[in-house]
Structure 1
Amino acid sequence: MSLLNADNISYTFGDQLIFRSVSMKLSQHDHTGLVGANGAGKTTLLSLLSGERQPDEGKIEWLPETRIGYLEQHLNLNEDMTVRDVLRSAFAPLYDMERQMIDMADKMAAAEDVSEAEDVYKGERTRLDSYLRRFAELEEQLQQSGFYQVEIEIDRIAEGLGLSEIGLDKTVGYLSGGQKTKLALAVLLLQKPHALLLDEPTNYLDQQHVEWLATYLKNYPHAFVVISHDELFLQQVVNVVFHLEHHRVTRYPGDYRAFAAAYELRKNQVQTMYQQQQAEIRRLETYIQKNKVRASTAKQAKSREKRLEKTMENRIKPPKLAARPHFRFHFSKPASGTVMEATKLLVGYGDPLFPPLDLKLKQGQKVAVTGFNGIGKTTLLRTLLGQIPQLSGQVKLGDGVVVGYFEQEPKVDGVESAIERVWGAFPALTQREVRTGLAQCGLRGEQVFQAFKDLSGGEQSKVRLCQLMMRQANWLVLDEPTNHLDALAKEALRDALAKFPGTVLVVAHEPQFYEDWVTDVWDVSAWSNEEAGALGED
């Protein structure tokens, strides 16, 4: 039985067509990957399936009483609640029943006090009996629902996603954007809805927690649809793939590798059919042109014209290849031998996050910074760049160092378009130069005029990478630049950073992104008093 039926749905955003006549079904145990290039409309499709948006045409129907859990790219959480209280909100009805049971216990105690008095009325006995019955009903419901195992389950999910390392007693306002995403994901997993709709859940997760999530989803008893650009993760968790391309959705049964092979075969078949048809069209046109004026062959030429007309009616469109970004970072003149040196550096807000650090970066050195989320990688980067003050110690940049910085969580507000955002930062450029830069990053046509806040996460990252490309720099500092990027964009970024002749410091969680081009790895999770000295030294 289908859990979801989406029939002939179409959707436009402004003047931009997102989908046309899309139909799809989701069975009760489908573990589905939703894949496609950045900007194809994956997030929009999930929001339509969740009911947050309505299609322009067609209908979306869920099986009655289906519980849906939707993890969005952009979240709203109560900043004053603690992490544990947010996790407990997944079981709000059960905690409400517990409060009712406590209230019944208080009423029972008060009724018993009255019953022990000399002038006891029969009504008090009746009321006490009703309290006892209601208390027993509530206790049985809590037992059957597994309420007394809830705290154990909360701790299990929190540990699996790395929230325990952050601290369950911290308030939401203390958390970074990535940590809030993990918290929202944890709530959904605790709720165990009949259908999980997950938009890039592996963003902001380190490898250990990605592996935990993969195991969890692989054994998930209900259906889910997950957007991800992590191909290894998808291979582990999905048994169906929906591919969104050219405003259409195509269903591929099987795991991610089966999809990749079938898609490549299909693409090659379409290319072959297109080429064969084009050759046939040219042959027919040549024959008609040579023979239609001759009386002896005019009849045959007329027959060929009819065949050509029929062929043109069923003309195969040329295959459209996904636009591969081409990143290239401009290198200013080299800095001195030492790009950055930190001595006895203490990093943090109030309390130090690490022991005293001695760090050094030399010209041309390329370092990946790794470690679990919340440990302080962003704080370390911002301290080294002088954006926040160190608690103690010293940071010195070498002579001639020019920094290009890609921050993890930029402000996303206002109505400025992608082109206005870049042009505003580089007003001396012409519109043509700005549009050329955006096109190199994979943003073309109407995308460049969309409000930046309305772009997908991957498109926003490409706009910000375009801004970084426009700068001259000899030291690139990038804080999780692969979040939201599709496979082609990740590959292009990896190639660009590998070719960059300057120094690179990049925070990343995917070893396959950095392991073949960095010179060093700083695993901040492993730093200790003994290990903190002389990092980056020969």
Structure 2
Amino acid sequence: MSVLDVKNVTHGFGVRAILENVSFRLLKGEHVALIGANGEGKSTFLNIIIGSLMPDEGTVEWSKRVTVGYLDQHSALKSGTTIRENLRLAFDSLFNMEKEMLKLYEDMAEAVENEVNRMMDNAAEIQTILDSSGFYFIDSKIEEIANGLGLGDIGLDRNVDELSGGQRTKVLLTKLLLQNPTILLLDEPTNYLDENHIQWLTNYLQNYENAFILISHDIPFINSVCNIIYHVENCNLTRYVGNYDEFKRIYEINKQKAEKEYEKQQREIDKLEDFIARNKARVATRGMANSRMKKLDKIEILERPRDKPKPTFKFKETKAPSRFLIDAKDLVIGYDKPLTSPMNFQIERNKKIAICGVNGLGKSTLLKTLLGIIPPVSGTVEFGENVVYGYFEQEDTKNNNNTALEEVWNAYPSFTNHEVRLELARCGLTTDNITSMMKVLSGGENAKVRLCKILLKDLNFLILDEPTNHLDVEAKDELEKAIMEFKGTVLLVSHEPYFYSSFITDVWNIEDFTTKII
């Protein structure tokens, strides 16, 4: 049974085509991964099917009585409320029904007999709905899912205005799961989740009875929860049955087949054109040449298989710093209140360190404090000699109106226009990307521009805060290779052990800061 039918959808932004004559069908119970390189149109497709973006052509039709829950990276929480209050909003319709039922009981006192019977029937119907929906177990249900995603550790009575970006995402995801919609639409839900909470979400989605569509670049996660792959590439949408690994196998086979068919056709065309060129002027062979021309005209020309620009990352290195790049003494980090007890640690030259731990304990705050972006609550941070660092921040500032070209050129004004464009192209960005504003680029395209600025700098210390968020698979692989080859020191915040396990020398868990020297 189909719950969603998308027919012949076409959409673009200006002269840039995003989707061309795309059709899509979601069946009941399907667990779908929507995959593709950065900027191919995955989030655009989701926005079209939920109705927040109108396609240039085509139709989107949901089956009747379908409820759709959508989590993207721009969802908002109700300011000034607690986590628990936000989560209870998931059951607003049930609370309204309870109010209606209680009002019916109040009105019965003054109603005539016929009205009382009608009110009793309505109240009984509402009571049945509340019972079947688990209304009287809402608080235990909230705590079950909230604890699974780590909100219990934060405290359900905490004001949402005090939460980190990762914690806010957890609240939004928890609220969405509590709503239990018929269809889940999840846009990169693991970006701000810790490893253990990703595992909880994996188990939840594996047992999810309804259908969902997931956008993610987290391959182990996709392999664990999805049984259908839709691949967005070159404005087209192609369906594959199986997980990501099976998609990759079939995709490579089809790609090689298409390349061989293209090459075979090109050889045939070359032969025909050569025969025509040699024989059309001779009277004796002109008839055969004309026959070949007709054959050539009837050939449906195959398009050469196109590869998207692949990023090439290589960090530049400068002379080595002193033995210890950073020396922190009695360091306490935080904002209005301390997040840690006093910490004492040193960062030694050529170490590659991953910082992990539950969101909200101060991983990003620690990086910003070490760099002097925010002051410490107490204690000191001293840099060694000849330390030159590059810092990748977790997210770009909102409403960045610079184009990608301007963003890099402002940082390196001595470069020519051609040189800036060349460096951005090396990072896997197209001409359209390069002339687009940072705020309208996809998350992955935006991240590649910000990485480009670091790649152009001579440095000996890399500080990276969740650099793989939003990056597609090829960009992640290239970044892993670049960090592995970098001969300097690395301080990395990441929730993806499979990304950093190949190059890391030390793992620091910020949860252990009170008992273990970081």
Asked if TM exceeds 0.5, the reply is yes
- Alpha-carbon distance in structure 2 between the residues aligned to 1:380 and 1:293: 79
Contact kept in structure 1, 2:332 and 2:377, CA below 8 Å: yes
Contact kept in structure 2, 1:337 and 1:362, CA below 8 Å: yes
1:171-195 superposed Cα distances (whole Å, 9 cap, x missing partner): 2211222222222121111111111
Question: Paired residue for 2:241, among 241, 253, 263?
Answer: 253
Give the AA of the match of 1:36: G
Aligned position for 1:471: 457
Matches within 5 A, 1:87-126: 87-100=87-100
Say which is worse superposed, 275-284 or 29-38, in terms of deviation: 275-284
- Using the TM superposition, give the Cα deviation of residue 142 of structure 1 relative to its aligned residue in structure 2, in angstroms: 2.3
Contact kept in structure 1, 2:355 and 2:507, CA below 8 Å: yes
- Alpha-carbon distance in structure 2 between the residues aligned to 1:391 and 1:232: 39
- Using the TM superposition, give the Cα deviation of residue 508 of structure 1 relative to its aligned residue in structure 2, in angstroms: 0.9
1:18-52 superposed Cα distances (whole Å, 9 cap, x missing partner): 11111111111111110000000000000001111
Aligned position for 1:507: 493
- Alpha-carbon distance in structure 1 between the residues aligned to 2:259 and 2:346: 52
Question: Paired residue for 1:155, among 143, 161, 167?
Answer: 143
- Alpha-carbon distance in structure 1 between the residues aligned to 2:105 and 2:366: 52
Aligned position for 1:26: 26
- Alpha-carbon distance in structure 2 between the residues aligned to 1:309 and 1:125: 85
Say which is worse superposed, 97-106 or 190-199, in terms of deviation: 97-106
1:49-88 superposed Cα distances (whole Å, 9 cap, x missing partner): 1111111111111112211111122222222121111111
Aligned position for 1:412: 398
Q: C-alpha root-mean-square deviation of aligned residues, in Å?
A: 2.3
Aligned position for 1:203: 191
Distance 1:123 1:467, change over 3 A: closer
Give the AA of the match of 1:42: K
- Alpha-carbon distance in structure 1 between the residues aligned to 2:158 and 2:111: 49
Contact kept in structure 1, 2:315 and 2:486, CA below 8 Å: yes
2:179 equivalent to 1:182: no
Question: Paired residue for 2:221, among 211, 233, 236?
Answer: 233
- Using the TM superposition, give the Cα deviation of residue 515 of structure 1 relative to its aligned residue in structure 2, in angstroms: 0.7
Question: Paired residue for 1:423, among 397, 405, 409?
Answer: 409
Give the AA of the match of 2:270: R
Contact kept in structure 1, 2:309 and 2:425, CA below 8 Å: no
How many residues are treated as equivalent by the alignment? 518
- Alpha-carbon distance in structure 1 between the residues aligned to 2:84 and 2:157: 6
- Using the TM superposition, give the Cα deviation of residue 96 of structure 1 relative to its aligned residue in structure 2, in angstroms: 2.5
- Alpha-carbon distance in structure 2 between the residues aligned to 1:123 and 1:75: 45
Matches within 5 A, 1:448-487: 448-487=434-473
- Alpha-carbon distance in structure 2 between the residues aligned to 1:66 and 1:100: 24
Contact kept in structure 2, 1:73 and 1:457, CA below 8 Å: no
Q: When the two structures are superposed, what TM-score results if normalisation uses the length of structure 1?
A: 0.91
Say which SS state the counterpart of residue 464 (structure 2) adopts: strand
2:493 equivalent to 1:493: no
Matches within 5 A, 1:174-323: 174-311=162-299, 314-323=300-309
Say which SS state the counterpart of residue 20 (structure 1) adopts: strand
1:116-175 superposed Cα distances (whole Å, 9 cap, x missing partner): xxxxxx879999999888766654442232111111111111112222222211222112
Contact kept in structure 2, 1:412 and 1:452, CA below 8 Å: no
- Alpha-carbon distance in structure 1 between the residues aligned to 2:325 and 2:463: 12
Say which SS state the counterpart of residue 395 (structure 1) adopts: strand
Aligned position for 1:402: 388
Question: Paired residue for 1:367, among 349, 353, 358?
Answer: 353
- Alpha-carbon distance in structure 1 between the residues aligned to 2:459 and 2:60: 50
2:121 equivalent to 1:146: no
Distance 1:415 1:394, change over 3 A: closer
- Alpha-carbon distance in structure 1 between the residues aligned to 2:121 and 2:40: 57
Aligned position for 2:61: 61
Contact kept in structure 2, 1:50 and 1:197, CA below 8 Å: no
- Using the TM superposition, give the Cα deviation of residue 333 of structure 1 relative to its aligned residue in structure 2, in angstroms: 2.4
Contact kept in structure 2, 1:35 and 1:242, CA below 8 Å: yes
Say which is worse superposed, 159-168 or 186-195, in terms of deviation: 159-168
Contact kept in structure 1, 2:272 and 2:292, CA below 8 Å: yes
- Alpha-carbon distance in structure 2 between the residues aligned to 1:180 and 1:402: 33
Contact kept in structure 2, 1:404 and 1:471, CA below 8 Å: yes
- Alpha-carbon distance in structure 2 between the residues aligned to 1:239 and 1:218: 10
- Using the TM superposition, give the Cα deviation of residue 317 of structure 1 relative to its aligned residue in structure 2, in angstroms: 1.0
2:28 equivalent to 1:40: no
- Alpha-carbon distance in structure 1 between the residues aligned to 2:104 and 2:288: 95
Say which SS state the counterpart of residue 340 (structure 1) adopts: strand
Unaligned runs of 5+ in 2: none
Say which SS state the counterpart of residue 9 (structure 1) adopts: strand
Contact kept in structure 2, 1:458 and 1:484, CA below 8 Å: yes
- Using the TM superposition, give the Cα deviation of residue 352 of structure 1 relative to its aligned residue in structure 2, in angstroms: 3.4
Say which SS state the counterpart of residue 70 (structure 2) adopts: strand
Contact kept in structure 2, 1:177 and 1:409, CA below 8 Å: no
1:278-335 superposed Cα distances (whole Å, 9 cap, x missing partner): 1212222222233333444333333222222223xx1111111132111222223221
Distance 1:136 1:25, change over 3 A: closer
Contact kept in structure 2, 1:370 and 1:509, CA below 8 Å: yes
- Alpha-carbon distance in structure 2 between the residues aligned to 1:131 and 1:24: 45
Identity %: 44
Give the AA of the match of 1:310: K
2:365 equivalent to 1:379: yes
Distance 1:457 1:130, change over 3 A: same
Distance 1:272 1:357, change over 3 A: same
Contact kept in structure 1, 2:309 and 2:430, CA below 8 Å: no
Say which SS state the counterpart of residue 37 (structure 1) adopts: coil
Aligned position for 1:116: none
Distance 1:495 1:350, change over 3 A: same
1:490-536 superposed Cα distances (whole Å, 9 cap, x missing partner): 0111111111221110111111211111111112233432x2x3x4x
1:325-381 superposed Cα distances (whole Å, 9 cap, x missing partner): 112222232211111111222222354333332211122111111112222111111
Say which is worse superposed, 358-367 or 345-354, in terms of deviation: 345-354
1:420-440 superposed Cα distances (whole Å, 9 cap, x missing partner): 222233333222122112111
